[in-house]
Amino acid sequence: MDTLEILSLIGAVALAALAAPFLVRPRLAEKLGVTALDGNGWLEVRGIYGGLLLALAVVCLVAREPYAFLTAGVALLGFAAVGFAALALDRPRVPQAVAVNGMHTLLGLLLLAGFWGW
């Protein structure tokens, strides 16, 4: 296993570890400055931060195919790009937003290593 493969697996494991708690307790998102008005909002938080991100990580870990890592990496980088644009458009709480988008960027880049490494 080479360095890029190891980095991509670290990214997938880290993504799974960060996503799983949101699947069980979506209100953890409040620590990141994300709130919901009602149960429908928490459904979205659970589904996206928990379910979707965990599913991307699991597919990478199980399939270990370059295009799985490419898809997950591009998805996270897209999430981060929109988040950084939203800093100017929506004016969220800056420290939390920068931290979350920075984490999405780092994990996206780690996952992209799997595209080139496998």
Reported as a single tens digit per residue, the pLDDT across 26-47 is 999 999 888 899 999 999 999 9
pLDDT of residue 67: 97
| CA–CA dist 40, 82 (Å, integer) | 22
User: What is the residue-averaged pLDDT of the chain?
Assistant: 94
What domain range includes position 56? 3-117
Phi and psi (nearest 5°) for 48? -85, -60
Q: What is the sign of the dihedral through the CA atoms of 83, 12, 4 and 7?
A: positive
Q: What is the 3-state secondary structure (H, E, C) of 54-118?
A: HHHHHHHHHHCCHHHHHHHHHHHHHHHHHHHHHHHHCCCCHHHHHHHHHHHHHHHHHHHHHHHHC
pLDDT of residue 57: 98
Q: Tokens for 75?
A: 């998805």
- Assessment of whether the complete model's pTM goes beyond 0.85: yes
Reported as a single tens digit per residue, the pLDDT across 84-100 is 999 999 988 778 889 99
Is 96:32 a contact under the CB 8 Å cutoff? yes
pLDDT: which is higher, 93 or 22 = 22
Q: How many domains does the chain have?
A: 1
pLDDT bracket for residue 13 (50, 70, 90): very high
Q: What is the sign of the dihedral through the CA atoms of 108, 110, 116 and 118?
A: negative
pLDDT bracket for residue 73 (50, 70, 90): very high
Query: Which residue is it, tokens 């890029």?
Result: 4
